[in-house]
A and B are shown apart, each in its own frame.
Chain A
Amino acid sequence: MIAKTSPEIGGLGHSVKRKEDLRLIQGKGTFVDDVRLPEMVYGQVVRSPFAHARIKNVNIENAMALPGVLAVITGKDLEKAGLAWMPTLFHDKQMVLAVDKVLFQAQEVAFVVAEDRYTAADAAELVEVDYEELPVLVDPHRATDPDAPILREDREEKTNHIFHWEVGDRKATDQALEQSPVKARVDAVFQRCHPAPLETCGCVADFNTATGRLTVWLTSQAPHAHRTLFAIVGGIPENNIRVISPDIGGGFGNKVPIYPGYVCAVVASLKLGRPVKWIETRSENLQSTGFARDYHMTAEIGADRDGTVKTLRVKTLADHGAFNAAAQPSKFPAGLFSVCTGSYDFKKAFCEVDGVYTNKAPGGIAYRCSFRVTEAAYLIERAMDVLALQLKVDPAELRLKNFIPSDRFPYQSPLGWNYDSGDYAAAMNRALEIAGYKELRKEQAEKRAKGELMGIGISSFTEIVGAGPAHTFDIAGIKMFDSCEIRVHPTGKAIARFGTKSQGQGHETAFGQIVAQELGIPVADITVEEGDTDTAPYGLGTYASRSTPTAGAAGAMAARKIRDKAKKIAAYLLEASEEDLEWEPGKFSVKGVPGRSKTIQEIAFAAYTNIPPGLEAGLEAVHYYDPPNLTFPFGTYIAVVDIDKGTGEIKTRRFIAVDDCGNIINPMIVEGQIHGGLTEGLGIAFMQLIDYDESGNVQGGNFMDYLVPTAVETPRWETGKTCTPSPHHPFGAKGVGESPNVGSPAAFVNAVVDALAHLGVTHIDMPVTPWKVWQILKQKGVVD
């Protein structure tokens, strides 16, 4: 049990208002684009209009002639410096600026630097590139056809096939599936989508020619990892690099990779000796930076006639675009996709994934998810509904029948994961209760009899977050621990620095609450800092819902080290032995002697003024936490939709989200995270697609084509929770930020399919737009 602190202390479980909001809602935050340095100049990327073309010539004369233009950097220039290519985070390399050919529309071809942004933009228009168009490969299913153009001439392997990866027992699974009396299959595409953070990517690179020191203000979710990569790739001594991630306007995985624009800005600053700012436009962000998903999947479930699931076989084609720039630190090419057995007790499973190159933007980042878990959760939750349809059983019943029982945890999944804890039936039952499920089904039957279309969709997802244990995860060899350093000042106030980086998650508040919980110092007295590599301890950053499972844990552990020292000081001050002291948040007391106690503030003061003999002065600690396992939050989501037959329009009437993320630090922040993630899930399910036409033109490269849900489309989210603490986390917490994005797309799609199931519809690919639904209604003869 976690001791409940007073509201003044504001430890775990208190809905403390977010400290960061005071500055953020007043426009007083500092984002990268707010950084203005003396002598600063501006960069602009020249991009390819073609998806696949040879570069015959780049003429920079006219651009250089424009007054105010300081430099135009081309791929050839970078090639001379050995920087035309850079390594990706997943064993591939990608072009910084194209040298011989371009491989996707909007690829970086040149970098113009000018005294101001307008001149830079004008000069970019004056860079003349002579292209020879080449055949374009857009469809991943055609990537390995004999007549497909080979995209990556730089690679030794002359093929567009990147990897084959499989896990599980293929033979046993094939056999079991063959013998299954019931087989259900779904072919589902998780479409290419984009995190589209409110703030696009950018940087200010400032190389000081006198000191040789490079400071980079960067939209980075992982400033330390980026510093190390800059050092390794750029050859600058790491002590001479300072990366500062200031306020970040949303990342969602989009700000994990290193982008060519960052590298160009650094190169330009080295060349010019002046600070160089580069900020993407919205279209540049959508068209060229880390996309998500693009998984073309097939799932087959083998089950008994009574609906008991036995076997799962999954086959997937992964479209990685022009470079395998998947920003994921697991050892597996498809990340954590093998969590695709989900919440269900499959006996046998097999999963294989093939990755291919196409003429599309590179990436494959984990958009608010832990490296392909969204694809996995979507697939299994869709497949379970297809099975339910086939067996004509209620999808809730089918799930309840097949959940991994709560007494089987820790649970070893057939594809190798060790689920830490779970009680899936509890979350499901809570969600059914909030929804009034039976009544809803009754209403649906009545409406169906009247010819109205109403659907109820369920998703009982299992998440896998908190990357990650050193044995399975690393970035360029660096293990995926995270860190916290706490300094308690003489007056009892404290600063806590973390290796993670909030992009809106509320770390400044929530992480303060962890320290407040452990030390009893009021949360108001604790400053939380992240993002400056000169001051924060080394960490791997924020994504994959890893902050609380790793850095949050490090915070508790560092605070406990301080508490241990505080106990020694308290014993000295109270003239008692340590064994006779007892702790309650904020003070040590002598057992059985009322009134004989020292507060943490008194102890902190003594740490600097009245140090016990033999003890070091000060009250500080640092902890690097390597999680023993991932955490497995879960939940059940229920969507209720009504469909307008005339227009195909889908209205989400209700959405019930019951989440279980173990012990909660700040319930208000968790609820906010869930609201945000559900809204993003709604966008993915109904609105979003980065599409390409057959010439490789991006269709979805601006906010008129790539739709972001607004308050208008967003229903009222009804949230609930159950609590199953993580057994291995220092205070029983699990990550949560991603759960709503991982779990909700299946609920939305299942609801629409459920509304149309009586017409024989078993699957609709996302985004489920009114147009698609209307076409189905027309095809099924529901409308003329």
Chain B
Amino acid sequence: MPVRIEKAFQVQQPIDKVWGLLSDPRNVAGCVPGAQITEAVDDRTFKGSVSVKVGPSVTNYKGDVHFERLDAAAHEMELVGRGQDVKGRGSASMKMTGRLRSLPDGGTEVETVAEVNVVGILAQFGGRVIHDVSDIMFGEFTKRFEQQLQQTAAPPAAAVAAEPAAAAPPAPEPEPVNAPAIFLKALRAAVARFFRRLFGGSH
């Protein structure tokens, strides 16, 4: 089910530094709960995996991410990701556009629009739960991204292009998305809606 997710967040870092981090999927993956980049196919295409655990079932998406557009001057990017669960339990694809904007205070605003299409067991939980899960994941992403921004010096954007075939830095074994917790949070939101229906609808 295609779900459109629009998010924006602000960080207290200059735009070029943010761009440098954000335009390298290896850095981005480090911020996505449960995600990992395993191979750089070329300077625009990467292979990786995302592991999402919903309740008792782990969905381990393997696939690739490709930058359709990477406009350093305009600070805009467009990327397409696609993965299939290794056990054949479903698939997910995403088209995301990101745009950075300098803020008057020297910080940066990151605007993203993602169209996520999930097929399979996860999708059966309905758009509401996917929205809720993505909200929680995105919140976690923003937190980790800010931490990374503070920790790392910005690699120049050119560096990525200069070493296209370089193997991905040995990423730490990713924590699987803290999924029971995420799912429970999402579920709780949905259950709350359910009860509102129940009691809102009383006679």
Query: A residues within 8 Å of B by Cβ?
Result: 49-51, 105, 125-131, 133, 283, 287, 647, 649, 651, 693-699, 701-702, 704-705, 707, 710, 712-713, 715
Interface of A, helix, strand, loop or mixed by DSSP: loop
Chain A residues within 8 Å of B124, by CB: 105, 283, 287, 697-699, 701-702
Contact, CB under 8 Å: A125 / B57: yes
Contact, CB under 8 Å: B86 / A697: no
B198 interface contact, C-beta 8 A:
yes
In the complex, how many angstroms separate the beta carbon of B124 from the nearest chain A beta carbon?
Answer: 5
- Chain B residue nearest to A283 in the complex (CB): B124
Chain A residues within 8 Å of B198, by CB: 710, 712
In the complex, how many angstroms separate the beta carbon of B97 from the nearest chain A beta carbon?
Answer: 21
Which of B88, B90, B119, B203 counts the most chain A CB atoms within 10 A? B88
Chain B residues within 8 Å of A126, by CB: 87
Within 8 A of A (CB), among B173-203: 190-191, 194, 197-203
Q: Within the complex, which residue of A49, A696, A698 is in contact with B88, where a contact is CB–CB below 8 Å?
A: A49
Contact, CB under 8 Å: A649 / B200: yes
Q: A485 to B91, alpha carbons, bound, how many Å? A: 56
Q: Within the complex, which residue of B2, B117, B190, B203 is in contact with A715, where a contact is CB–CB below 8 Å?
A: B203
Q: Within the complex, which residue of B87, B127, B197, B201 is in contact with A128, where a contact is CB–CB below 8 Å?
A: B87
B80 interface contact, C-beta 8 A:
no
- Chain B residue nearest to A122 in the complex (CB): B56
In the complex, how many angstroms separate the beta carbon of A51 from the nearest chain B beta carbon?
Answer: 8
In the complex, how many angstroms separate the beta carbon of A461 from the nearest chain B beta carbon?
Answer: 25
Contact, CB under 8 Å: A49 / B200: no
Which of A105, A287, A704 counts the most chain B CB atoms within 10 A? A704
Residues A649 and B117 in contact in the complex (CB < 8 Å), given A50-B90, A125-B57, A704-B194:
no
Chain B residues within 8 Å of A713, by CB: 201, 203
Residues A49 and B86 in contact in the complex (CB < 8 Å), given A695-B117, A697-B1, A710-B198:
no
Contact, CB under 8 Å: B126 / A699: yes
Q: Within the complex, which residue of A125, A651, A697 is in contact with B118, where a contact is CB–CB below 8 Å?
A: A697
Residues A128 and B190 in contact in the complex (CB < 8 Å), given A649-B200, A697-B123, A699-B1:
no
Q: A705 to B1, alpha carbons, bound, how many Å? A: 15
The 3 closest A-B pairs by CB, nearest first: A49-B120, A693-B1, A129-B88
Chain B residues within 8 Å of A704, by CB: 126, 190-191, 194
Q: A287 to B124, alpha carbons, bound, how many Å? A: 10
Chain B residues within 8 Å of A710, by CB: 198
Q: A141 to B177, alpha carbons, bound, how many Å? A: 40
Within 8 A of A (CB), among B70-126: 84-91, 117-121, 123-126
Q: A549 to B190, alpha carbons, bound, how many Å? A: 45
Chain B residues within 8 Å of A702, by CB: 124-125
Q: A713 to B124, alpha carbons, bound, how many Å? A: 25
Q: A707 to B198, alpha carbons, bound, how many Å? A: 10
Q: A694 to B119, alpha carbons, bound, how many Å? A: 10
Chain B residues within 8 Å of A649, by CB: 200-201
Contact, CB under 8 Å: A697 / B120: yes
Q: Within the complex, which residue of B87, B90, B119, B197 is in contact with A125, where a contact is CB–CB below 8 Å?
A: B87
Within 8 A of A (CB), among B118-138: 118-121, 123-127
* Given A49-B121, A693-B1, A694-B2, 18 new contacts (CB under 8 A): A50-B120, A51-B119, A105-B120, A105-B124, A128-B86, A129-B87, A283-B124, A649-B200, A649-B201, A693-B2, A695-B117, A696-B119, A697-B123, A697-B124, A699-B124, A712-B202, A712-B203, A715-B203
